[in-house]
Amino acid sequence: MTGSVRILVDADACPVKEEVYRVAFRREVPVRVVSNSYLRVPAHPLIERVVVSDKFDAADDWIVEQADARTVVITSDILLADRCLKAGATVIGNNGKPFTASMIGSAIATRAIMADLRAGGDVVGGPAPFAKADRSRFLQALDEALVRLERA
């Protein structure tokens, strides 16, 4: 799959897999759906299921090994996003917000602070519930990223 534009999905907790498939079918872009366990995916030549071991970070490691400048990675995992950005990939969160080199440092710092607060017993809220606007933003962001990569 090197050379062509492609999508890699960190799929275990991804709420926008159906949206990825819709955009991929329309743009004829191959998708690899990466997970630690078997997930149902459409029977379609553009969609490939990749099941990795259940070893910690196995899916993340596989995605990073495949990521390059012709790849769009879909994930909500900040640390995976950072690794993929360093590999040259375009990274989009499940809510449609892109991860960028300029914002990833503060996102990692915020993640660490929140983890410390939780570990200390402080009650802190999690991310906002996934909303219809997030789904719409995601569709637009993925489409725009693919157009940009196809033109490059």
Going by pLDDT thresholds of 50, 70 and 90, the confidence category of residue 126 is low
128 vs 126: which has the higher pLDDT = 128
Please give the C-alpha separations between residue 21 and each of 24, 29, 36, 48, 137, in angstroms, as whole numbers: 5, 9, 19, 11, 16
Percent of the chain at pLDDT exceeding 70: 84
pLDDT for 130 equals 77
What is the domain partition of the chain in residue ranges?
Answer: 6-151
Asked if residue 52 lies in contact with residue 34, where contact means CB atoms within 8 angstroms, the answer is yes
Judge contact between 75 and 94, C-beta under 8 A. yes
pLDDT tens per residue across span 77-88: 999 999 999 999
d(CA 78, CA 104): 7
Instruction: Identify the CA nearest to 20 among candidates 85, 82, 97, 72.
Output: 72
Question: Is the model's pLDDT at 1 over the cut of 60?
Answer: no
Tell me how far CA of residue 92 lies from CA of 7, 14, 41, 102, in angstroms: 10, 12, 20, 14
**Confidence class for position 2, pLDDT limits 50, 70, 90:** very low
**pLDDT, position 152:** 83
CATH architecture for residues 6-151: 3-Layer(aba) Sandwich (3.40)
Q: What is the arithmetic mean of pLDDT over 23-40?
A: 96
Cβ(91)–Cβ(73) under 8 Å? yes
